[in-house]
Amino acid sequence: MIKKLLFIFLFSGGLFFGCESSKKSIDQAARKNSKKAITVPSFNSDSAYFFIQKQVDFGPRVPNTDPHKVCGEYLVSKLKS
């Protein structure tokens, strides 16, 4: 009986002290990230579908085939611009 009570006491103490609230670390991370202003461009569905269509027009992009390489070059040029 004493062993069971000791086990329950140690187990509950471990849960009590081991389960710390992470709210403090979340608040600190939010303060660090709140200083950076992030601008996000507005979403234009017409241009999104246009760029998807351009990628699909290259055909199946199996690695190391010409459509794969050409599509990769296209994506790099678009991301650079």
pLDDT, one tens digit per residue, over 33-75 is: 566 777 888 999 998 999 999 999 999 989 999 999 999 999 9
Better-predicted residue by pLDDT, 76 or 33 = 76
Cα Rg of the chain (Å, integer): 27
3-class DSSP assignment, residue 61: coil
- The reported pLDDT for the residue numbered 3 is 76
Q: What is the pTM of this model?
A: 0.46
CA distance 9 to 78: 63
- The reported pLDDT for the residue numbered 23 is 56
- The reported pLDDT for the residue numbered 49 is 94
CA distance to 44, 49, 79, 81, per residue, from 71 (Å) = 22, 16, 12, 15
Instruction: With cut-offs at 50, 70 and 90, classify the pLDDT of residue 77.
Output: very high
